[in-house]
Structure 1
Amino acid sequence: MNNTLNESVSLEDVLDTTPIPVICSDAVTGQVQYVNKAFTDLFGFHLNEMATIDSWFVKVGSTAKFYPNVIEPWMSTGHQGASTEFLNATFFCKWYSQKHISMRFSLIGNTRIWYLHDVTDYWVAEERLRARSVMLEMVAKSSALPDILDVIVKQIQKENPMSLCSVLLFDKTNQCLRLGSGPSLPDFYNDAIDGIKVGLNVGSCGTAAHINERVIVENISIHPYWENFTELAKQAGLAACWSDPILSSKGELLGTFAIYKQVPSAPTEKDFELIQFASNLASIAIENFRTQEALENMAYFDHLTGLANRGSFFQQCETVLKDAIEKKAPLSVIMMDVDNFKRVNDQFGHKAGDLVLQKLAQTSLSILRRQDLMSRIGGEEFAVLLPLTEHEEALVIAERLRVAVEQSAVVDGKHQPIHYTVSFGVASKAGASCFVDRLLNRADKALYKAKAAGKNCVLSLDR
């Protein structure tokens, strides 16, 4: 450029001192005549890498249609000696990071002077507030956990389009990680990592969950943590993985949040901030879900045996019985009561009595079918709902339960075996109409009949 402020200070000297990225281009040919230092620092491009302003916009634009559909119409609003209104746009830098820009230009003679303000930090803050609000609203509405985690993952990927993310949930019982969310990862990869054990050298996530610390793997192909998963990662096009343990407010492991890269990569300070933000959001979502799950279990399930509680059982009985009446389908129930349970408590203690009830539930569930519903009605009394089951078949199932229980035992705190038996009463739906109370009452009377007959037997009023 030939314009100068005076004989010793050129316009380029002045623009190179401003922190705002600036481009000067020919208004007729579009040739880029000058870029200042702030521009090169932000975008990575030097003057000799930029031929015309339109070709540069096409190169860095978020979509191919952005320049003809947005930039060109906006450029036509420029007037001599005046600045245009600000236009917000998203551009890719030379090293593929994304910047959110608010820009305008002034038309002076045959020169357009472009001013590009970096508003990325402001955009990120706004987007994170929005994502947090959306997530908290979903939490308040008790939305499905995978849907909530998808919102978090997609927000992180939106901030960093070159990233692929996943959330794995910690299964404490099986000491493994289960897939929570990974919407952009290949299905075969998600299937492969679903259920991986927590431990050292089990990728980034299995290791992070094991040591309870962030794990940074910059190059999967040569890192020992990924030795057994190198080929899987290669097939999925993954070259780096940074994983953060997701912890509850009490410091307990809830899962892991992973950011994958398709080229070997080292995280920046902003990347660390990003993964911490994601882990915190995921922690809120998972911890809330588990709290709600625990409350629901308290409302519908027996705390000792994990079976349906009395209220839940009666509610489901009404629904199943109504369906059986409408479809004229068979249905049966079994009432069960532990024989001489007071003697077990008195002789071995209440903890041993609890073990007996838990063992009874486990043994019974191993015999019953998937559609059957077992409940702890109260104390040592249990009930089983048998949909689509004729009376004779119900008697056979009850006998199987009796034998299995008779052959089982629990061991108390002093390593003494405790053998126990159970009495059974069976009743079945008769006729076109039936009521839950009457059906259970008949089964209960049959149970007392079994007790009177010597216990450890199966009886019914219907035979």
Structure 2
Amino acid sequence: MSDTLVNEIRPEYTNVLQTIIDFLPGGITLFDIDLRMIACNEQLKQLLNFPPELFKNGLPTMYELAIFNARRGDYGPGDHEILAQQVLERARNMEHHVYERTRPDGTVLEIRGTPLPDRRGFVTIYTDITERKRAEQEAKRTATYLDTVLNSLPQGVTVVDEQLNLVLWNQRFMDVLELPEDLMRTGVRLEDVIRYNAQRGDYGAVDPEKKVQEVVNLALRFEPHRMERTRPQGQTIDVEGRTMLVDDKVAGFITTYTDITERKQAGLYEQFRSHTLEMLASGQPLPAILDAIARGMEQLNPAMLCSVLLLDGKGRHLEIGAAPSLPDSYITAINGTEVGMGVCSSGTTAFTGKRVIVDDIATHPYWTSYKELAAEAGLSACWSQPIHSSTGEVLGTLTIYHRQPRTPSEYDLSIMEQSAHLASIAIERSAAADKIRSSEALYRLLTEDTVDVVWKTDRNFRFTYISPADERLRGYRADEVLGSHALEMFTEEGAAVVTEIMRKRLVAEKSGEQTGFVIFEAQHRCKDGSVIWGEVLSKPERDSHGAITGYHGITREITERKQMQDQVRQLAFYDTLTKLPNRRLLNDRLAQAMASSSRSGCHGALIFLDLDNFKPLNDTHGHAVGDLLLSEAGDRLKDCVRETDTVARFGGDEFVVILRDLTPDKAASISQAKIVAEKIRSALSEPYRLPIRHEGNADNEIEHSCTASIGVALFIKHEVSQDDILKWADKAMYQAKEAGRNAIWFYDSQT
């Protein structure tokens, strides 16, 4: 038997072998133990671009192929002979091998070598995997894009297949639901997540396995769904699921999880704030208002226990103003707490005039003398916010307790500041009212009502008597007033009020009705050109036949009261940051616009817009800079509309514009609304230059781009409710967001 494989292959088998390898799809080589080529196919020559000259003297040896490849750069840079010998050395090992080689022209080859029996040669298969590698790279790139997009979304996202396996999720999903890394592993199922949530109490007091089965049964229906879920700690999540189809067959569903806690709390806070301001406007007593503030805070976050403490007259101790949920024993113990540095949270806040945050009462030095008392009451954290007067004096503290150690969020701190401001208004208003009542009582006691202006006129409303108090109030001596007409003491607006009262009295008297006391408020002119408000009580004087012979009455200055009422009205109906109408006044303006539409037959439009790219500004530079942008956005909106239109802040970074009395033609009205909406979109997309202030350092300025997603809904007469119009525009706005943001979308009832 020959020592070489060549001699052992019978001639009749050589053609059979060549025929077989010629029909194989890849390149094939067969070498003997001496590294001489026994056979190869045409596919090899084409795949490796071997020239015919290489085979003119028969099949080349391994060395001849290797040195040829080395010289044309197939093995990369280096000495050609060394590279070729390295190839031969590896071949002599006669071992199984699989590797990939990228040729200079970019072709990627998969090379698989297998030794023959008894290691007397080997077969090598060359496969062009260039397209497969490109597809793999493209798939990897696409997966990277998808992963980047998913993890850039503000919502949590999951993809569940038809067997309810979680095949895809982003980090935001884990963050929103606070899921651990060891749970979210490859192969996790929907039921695993539901079971984990049920076991930690996310669904309340339920049997975990029953809850798992309930959710699984619902999920297997693969129906679109949307719901809000509130977790035990107060977090509210908007969950929306959509069916996923592949080749028109259900392949699972995609679900988004959006944390809408702040949006929900903002709505609740607006209701709480409006209710408090209504109580202020209606003159409710201070204890009732402070109690409403404390309860309102607790409704915003059920984990909070709120109290309001007021400084006593000497400013040395804190007294309970409201504490609806604290234990009675604790209230009794802290009532009269001394004001001082390091005296728990409230005492320190009242002393320093600054906010004090104690995350853990048990370990904080301010609570050394009080921690046992707090422990008995089940209190573990205490945050205290100073209540300042309009002049900066400390009036008391707004204090928040938690039953577990806790650090406040930016939203918590913002709500504390705003609620402390409401408490400040209530306390100052109550103090002012007490002073006024005491002052009025004293003056009446000493001067027998001479503080108020006492006057008399004849039947033609010319003064026949006026008390000296008028000179103190308006600056006119009595001799300058006597004989003048009553209307001369009022401003133009005040005179209009009095004229209307005179007209109504005349109509009533002519109909046989004897009129009596009339009380009204009107503006009075002063000698120095200023204006004061007066509350006027007027009664006619009659002769024996009942005919009016003149009038007498009393005028009391109420300027301070009117200013306070105006301030409360401003707070009740206008946003404190942007000075735009708030949601309460917006509802009234929308009702007016709908009533006007009913009278004129013209369409109106409601534009609902949400600022894009606003949250990153807040997160990076803080709420103070965000507030500057919101204020400027409000100014830009006002510049885009008519004086008869309304621009309101709806909440957060959302605004609403009401366009009144467009045209009776719907198409023309749509065109007009579109022009205004585009004007708004363009104005809001201009860059904002916002100053940033740093304590102890020079101020600087940043530029921020913030576009808007705009939804528009037309309305006419009272065909639908206010809520429907707002919902239409809100839906259109979200469609604008989904369309890529910085866009305008009109509500279409057919979609």
TM over 0.5: yes
3-state SS of 2:442 partner:
coil
**Alignment partner for residue 150 of structure 2, among 7, 10, 15?**
15
Corresponding position of 2:296? 155
In structure 2, the CA distance between the partners of 1:56 and 1:22, relative to structure 1 (3 Å rule), is farther
Question: For each residue in 1:87-142, what CA deviation from the matched residue of structure 2 results, as whole angstroms up to 9, or x when unmatched?
Answer: 223225xxx4x322222101333523211122223222212211110001111222
Q: Does 1:129 align with 2:270?
A: yes
Question: How many angstroms does 1:74 deviate by?
Answer: 13
Question: For each residue in 1:168-207, what CA deviation from the matched residue of structure 2 results, as whole angstroms up to 9, or x when unmatched?
Answer: 0111236211111111211111111112222223211111
In structure 2, the CA distance between the partners of 1:152 and 1:25, relative to structure 1 (3 Å rule), is farther
- Cα contact 1:16–1:37 (8 A) shared by 2: yes
**Alignment partner for residue 90 of structure 1, among 230, 235, 249?**
230
1:315-354 paired onto structure 2 within 5 Å: none
Corresponding position of 1:225? 366
Corresponding position of 1:106? 242
Question: For each residue in 1:355-404, what CA deviation from the matched residue of structure 2 results, as whole angstroms up to 9, or x when unmatched?
Answer: xxxxxxxxxxxxxxxxxxxxxxxxxxxxxxxxxxxxxxxxxxxxxxxxxx
Residue identity matched to 1:107: T
3-state SS of 2:384 partner:
strand
Corresponding position of 1:188? 329
Residue identity matched to 2:227: L
- Cα contact 1:34–1:47 (8 A) shared by 2: no
In structure 2, the CA distance between the partners of 1:16 and 1:232, relative to structure 1 (3 Å rule), is same
- Cα contact 1:239–1:260 (8 A) shared by 2: yes
**Alignment partner for residue 249 of structure 1, among 380, 384, 390?**
390
In structure 2, the CA distance between the partners of 1:253 and 1:100, relative to structure 1 (3 Å rule), is same
- Cα contact 1:78–1:107 (8 A) shared by 2: no
- Cα contact 2:330–2:377 (8 A) shared by 1: yes
Question: How many angstroms does 1:253 deviate by?
Answer: 1.7
In structure 2, the CA distance between the partners of 1:65 and 1:182, relative to structure 1 (3 Å rule), is farther
Corresponding position of 2:257? 116
Q: Does 1:36 align with 2:177?
A: no
- Cα contact 2:176–2:257 (8 A) shared by 1: no
3-state SS of 1:200 partner:
coil
In the alignment, the residues of structure 2 paired with residue 243 and residue 20 of structure 1 have an alpha-carbon distance, to the nearest angstrom, of 33
3-state SS of 2:406 partner:
coil
In the alignment, the residues of structure 2 paired with residue 170 and residue 60 of structure 1 have an alpha-carbon distance, to the nearest angstrom, of 42
In the alignment, the residues of structure 1 paired with residue 207 and residue 284 of structure 2 have an alpha-carbon distance, to the nearest angstrom, of 36
Corresponding position of 2:195? 55
- Cα contact 1:241–1:258 (8 A) shared by 2: yes
Corresponding position of 2:594? none
In structure 2, the CA distance between the partners of 1:297 and 1:118, relative to structure 1 (3 Å rule), is same
Question: How many angstroms does 1:45 deviate by?
Answer: 1.0
Q: Which runs of 5+ in 1 are unaligned?
A: 312-463
Corresponding position of 1:359? none
In the alignment, the residues of structure 2 paired with residue 157 and residue 278 of structure 1 have an alpha-carbon distance, to the nearest angstrom, of 12
Q: Which runs of 5+ in 2 are unaligned?
A: 1-135, 185-190, 245-249, 450-751
In structure 2, the CA distance between the partners of 1:309 and 1:202, relative to structure 1 (3 Å rule), is farther
In the alignment, the residues of structure 2 paired with residue 303 and residue 218 of structure 1 have an alpha-carbon distance, to the nearest angstrom, of 52
Corresponding position of 2:281? 140
- Cα contact 1:169–1:177 (8 A) shared by 2: yes
In the alignment, the residues of structure 2 paired with residue 309 and residue 180 of structure 1 have an alpha-carbon distance, to the nearest angstrom, of 36
Question: How many angstroms does 1:267 deviate by?
Answer: 3.1
In the alignment, the residues of structure 1 paired with residue 385 and residue 262 of structure 2 have an alpha-carbon distance, to the nearest angstrom, of 23
3-state SS of 1:87 partner:
strand
Corresponding position of 2:308? 167
In the alignment, the residues of structure 2 paired with residue 83 and residue 6 of structure 1 have an alpha-carbon distance, to the nearest angstrom, of 32
1:377-456 paired onto structure 2 within 5 Å: none
In structure 2, the CA distance between the partners of 1:290 and 1:16, relative to structure 1 (3 Å rule), is same
In structure 2, the CA distance between the partners of 1:226 and 1:7, relative to structure 1 (3 Å rule), is closer
Question: For each residue in 1:395-424, what CA deviation from the matched residue of structure 2 results, as whole angstroms up to 9, or x when unmatched?
Answer: xxxxxxxxxxxxxxxxxxxxxxxxxxxxxx
- Cα contact 2:197–2:203 (8 A) shared by 1: no
Corresponding position of 2:431? 290
In the alignment, the residues of structure 2 paired with residue 62 and residue 120 of structure 1 have an alpha-carbon distance, to the nearest angstrom, of 17
Question: For each residue in 1:19-54, what CA deviation from the matched residue of structure 2 results, as whole angstroms up to 9, or x when unmatched?
Answer: 3201334666x6655431111233321464375354
Question: How many angstroms does 1:308 deviate by?
Answer: 11
Residue identity matched to 1:24: V
Q: TM-score, normalised by structure 1?
A: 0.55
In structure 2, the CA distance between the partners of 1:138 and 1:75, relative to structure 1 (3 Å rule), is farther
Q: Which runs of 4+ in 1 moved over 6 A?
A: 65-69, 71-75, 307-311
Name the Cα RMSD after superposition: 3.7
- Cα contact 2:269–2:300 (8 A) shared by 1: no
In the alignment, the residues of structure 2 paired with residue 31 and residue 56 of structure 1 have an alpha-carbon distance, to the nearest angstrom, of 15
Residue identity matched to 2:428: E
In the alignment, the residues of structure 2 paired with residue 236 and residue 137 of structure 1 have an alpha-carbon distance, to the nearest angstrom, of 34
- Cα contact 1:21–1:115 (8 A) shared by 2: yes
- Cα contact 1:32–1:47 (8 A) shared by 2: no
Residue identity matched to 1:141: S
Corresponding position of 1:209? 350
- Cα contact 1:35–1:47 (8 A) shared by 2: no
Residue identity matched to 1:90: T
Residue identity matched to 2:139: E
In the alignment, the residues of structure 2 paired with residue 202 and residue 303 of structure 1 have an alpha-carbon distance, to the nearest angstrom, of 43
3-state SS of 2:318 partner:
strand
In structure 2, the CA distance between the partners of 1:154 and 1:310, relative to structure 1 (3 Å rule), is same
In structure 2, the CA distance between the partners of 1:177 and 1:286, relative to structure 1 (3 Å rule), is same
In structure 2, the CA distance between the partners of 1:257 and 1:79, relative to structure 1 (3 Å rule), is same
3-state SS of 1:266 partner:
coil
Question: How many angstroms does 1:303 deviate by?
Answer: 7.1
**Alignment partner for residue 269 of structure 1, among 387, 396, 410?**
410
In structure 2, the CA distance between the partners of 1:287 and 1:227, relative to structure 1 (3 Å rule), is same
3-state SS of 1:249 partner:
coil
- Count of residues paired in the alignment: 297
Residue identity matched to 1:21: G
Which structure's relative contact order is higher, taking Cα pairs within 8 Å and 6+ residues apart?
1
3-state SS of 1:7 partner:
helix
Which structure has the bigger radius of gyration?
A: 2
Corresponding position of 1:24? 159
Query: What fraction of aligned residue pairs are identical, expressed as a percent?
Result: 33
In the alignment, the residues of structure 2 paired with residue 127 and residue 235 of structure 1 have an alpha-carbon distance, to the nearest angstrom, of 32
Q: TM-score, normalised by structure 2?
A: 0.35
- Cα contact 2:317–2:336 (8 A) shared by 1: yes
Corresponding position of 1:340? none
In the alignment, the residues of structure 1 paired with residue 446 and residue 293 of structure 2 have an alpha-carbon distance, to the nearest angstrom, of 34
Residue identity matched to 1:162: A
- Cα contact 2:154–2:258 (8 A) shared by 1: no
Residue identity matched to 1:38: R
In the alignment, the residues of structure 1 paired with residue 436 and residue 330 of structure 2 have an alpha-carbon distance, to the nearest angstrom, of 34
3-state SS of 1:242 partner:
strand
Question: How many angstroms does 1:295 deviate by?
Answer: 2.5
- Cα contact 2:305–2:325 (8 A) shared by 1: yes
Residue identity matched to 2:150: L
1:351-366 paired onto structure 2 within 5 Å: none
3-state SS of 2:224 partner:
coil
